[in-house]
Structure 1
Amino acid sequence: MMVRVRICTVMIIISVTMLGITDADVMYVPAPVDVIEQMLEIADVGEDDLVYDLGCGDARIAIAAVTQRGARAVGIDNDRNRIRLAINEAEYLGIKEKIQFVQGDLFGYPVTEATVVMIYLDRELNQRLRYKLLKELRPGSKVVSHEYCMEDWRADMIKQVRNSKVYMWIIPANISGLWRLYDEEQGEKMLHMQVVQRFQDLEIEATSAKGEAIQLKGSSLQGASMRIMLQGTDKQYYLYRAKFDGEKMVGEVVAEDGTMRRWYGERDEGTRGRIFYPASGI
């Protein structure tokens, strides 16, 4: 089956009036084809994904997500002419049932349903978008940016495409606070764990049920999945794996000698902190 593809190259000024950015401040530049392919690849976009393209321009990223990966997509742009071009292209390709276009402010339109968000904006807009993305997207959702990073929010993956870079972030769950971990079978308290979090990076202080300090040897958080390595008071290493759900965690711990136990954790009420300094409650 042959798929017809037309590439419309347009140079138009983006307007983000909600932020006080004028039409002259940000210029729309279309992403190269090989960069778009890498953006879709790095996020592993598939048929189950709903891809939001913020500041979509002629929507070539959103359209590629549909035609190349079978995903559904939403393109959002402030400019009426760009949206009209995108609609015409989707109709020409016969994909209008799988793609939606919105003329509006990319900062004002909710992205809560997205599993993947694509952006090709600039450094300042990326910085301002962080609060919205962390607040609205579900843990495990992915954000992909062409060329521009998000400063102190460390990317989970970076790919080089010729002279360009593609960045990807996985939205982290907020697991900050004081946790109490219990053996699932016996109900015995195993650990206390104080977690301080900045984006996906964790600082953890752990103590045994008896109040003895336990050494942290490593930690990682990817979406709602956590892994931590602790060295117990018996000098054995213990790998804790968990899934986070609201105010609870469930998981398993594997000891150095190969034994395994199931456990669950509960966060003390009122101890949930922030993972991003400007954002109250995030």
Structure 2
Amino acid sequence: MQTPSRQLVSSPIRDRLCGALLAAAAAMPVAAAEPRVPYVPTPQAVVDRILEIGRVGSNDYLIDLGSGDGRIVITAAKNFGTRGFGVDIDPELIEESNENARRTSVADRVAFYQRDLFDTSLAEATVITMYLAPHVNLELRPRLLALKPGTRIVSHDFSMDAWQPDQHVVVEALNKFGRAGGRSDVYLWIVPARVAGRWTWESAVGGRAHSYEIVLQQRYQVLSGTARIGGRLVKLDQARVRGDELRVEFTIDINGARVKHALTGKVDGDDVFGTAMLSGERLQSQGDWTARRVTRTAVATDETRRRQFLPHPPVLPH
């Protein structure tokens, strides 16, 4: 038997109206906390928007945390051929979800498991969807940030505090909370590559070789830093990482003229490969850009808690 707080953390918490009930249940003895936590299904219009904003397709592996009746995973499998699974603590909802998958002929691509979401490996996911309480999102945040860069995370109604979303849309759902209807917020995050540190490369500009250095500070997907050529140091005009795609812009004097640098590339560990566009009064050029990270520094986050997690995902039925 799980503790009340553990059960509540993993249940399909579905809206702000549940908050008072959850707080009361957490204070009850174990025996009194066993009944199902109130469940509010995600309206189909919101499901469709979640899959759209997450750009879910046939090559994705989708994991739904707090999967309820399974409609997100099942819709993705039915409409796009997506594979994946859902987890929920409620055995009745798991039984219903697997039956729904069989009835819609997608049981060969999806499955549902009665499991605490904190005991579920997320490593195989390319997309994660969730409809959880705010404090659960925050407790999951360290795990989500540790996933492969480019993994898409879509949350219904609740954000992740200091980790700002890459996209946020509002859906008016007429059948949310039954007949009452209401607004649904859908948030998208793309797990950023860890790019903090000092990067260097060599490049010829105006017929002369130059040694470059950029130093990046990182807070989630937001970057800041400096660029240096020889003894000249400037602040970056723009820097951002989206998944494994890095973009950096700065303007600096080269050979007596101001030259704007727009660098874009794909991060692969301590290397980045991409394109450099240079522009100035006497210079317009585009060419390959390759840089190497020579010093790593820590990424700034608000994470203070850590947990142990299972190393392997469940195996889907064949």
Same fold (TM over 0.5): yes
1:62 aligns with 2:86: no
CA contact (8 A) 1:47 1:70 kept: yes
CA contact (8 A) 1:180 1:189 kept: no
Runs of 4+ more than 4 Å apart: 18-23
CA contact (8 A) 1:176 1:275 kept: no
1:279/1:239 Cα in 2 relative to 1: closer, same or farther (>3 Å)? farther
1: CA distance between counterparts of 2:303 and 2:84?
30
> Which amino acid letter does the alignment assign opposite residue 172 of structure 1?
P
1:17 aligns with 6
CA contact (8 A) 2:272 2:291 kept: yes
1:242 aligns with 2:253: no
> Which amino acid letter does the alignment assign opposite residue 294 of structure 2?
D
2:221 aligns with 200
1:79 deviates by 1.9
Matches within 5 A, 1:1-282: 17=6, 24=25, 27-135=38-146, 137-162=147-172, 163-183=183-203, 190-208=211-229, 210-233=230-253, 234-256=257-279, 257-269=283-295, 271-278=296-303
2: CA distance between counterparts of 1:93 and 1:18?
30
1:107/1:60 Cα in 2 relative to 1: closer, same or farther (>3 Å)? same
SS of 1:259 mapped into structure 2:
strand
1:120/1:224 Cα in 2 relative to 1: closer, same or farther (>3 Å)? same
1:42/1:17 Cα in 2 relative to 1: closer, same or farther (>3 Å)? same
> Which amino acid letter does the alignment assign opposite residue 176 of structure 1?
A
CA contact (8 A) 1:63 1:73 kept: no
2: CA distance between counterparts of 1:16 and 1:32?
27
Any gaps of 5 or more consecutive residues in structure 1? 1-14
Q: Render the CA deviation track for 1:172-207: whole Å, top value 9, x for unaligned.
A: 0000111112339x9x66311111101000011111
Shifted more, 119-128 versus 22-31: the winner is: 22-31
Q: Render the CA deviation track for 1:145-164: whole Å, top value 9, x for unaligned.
A: 11111111111011110111
Shifted more, 193-202 versus 16-25: the winner is: 16-25
1:214/1:18 Cα in 2 relative to 1: closer, same or farther (>3 Å)? farther
RMSD across aligned C-alpha pairs, in angstroms? 2.6
> Which amino acid letter does the alignment assign opposite residue 145 of structure 1?
S
CA contact (8 A) 1:183 1:262 kept: no
1:58 deviates by 1.1
- Count of aligned pairs between the two proteins: 264
SS of 1:236 mapped into structure 2:
strand
Q: Render the CA deviation track for 1:39-68: whole Å, top value 9, x for unaligned.
A: 001111111111110011111111111112
> Which amino acid letter does the alignment assign opposite residue 191 of structure 1?
Y
2: CA distance between counterparts of 1:86 and 1:179?
49
SS of 1:48 mapped into structure 2:
coil
2:16 aligns with none
Q: Render the CA deviation track for 1:204-233: whole Å, top value 9, x for unaligned.
A: 11111x131134211221100011111021
1:278 deviates by 2.1
TM-score (norm 2): 0.77
CA contact (8 A) 1:50 1:71 kept: yes
SS of 2:236 mapped into structure 1:
strand
Any gaps of 5 or more consecutive residues in structure 2? 12-21, 27-36, 173-182, 307-318
SS of 2:247 mapped into structure 1:
strand
2: CA distance between counterparts of 1:36 and 1:49?
16
CA contact (8 A) 1:191 1:207 kept: yes
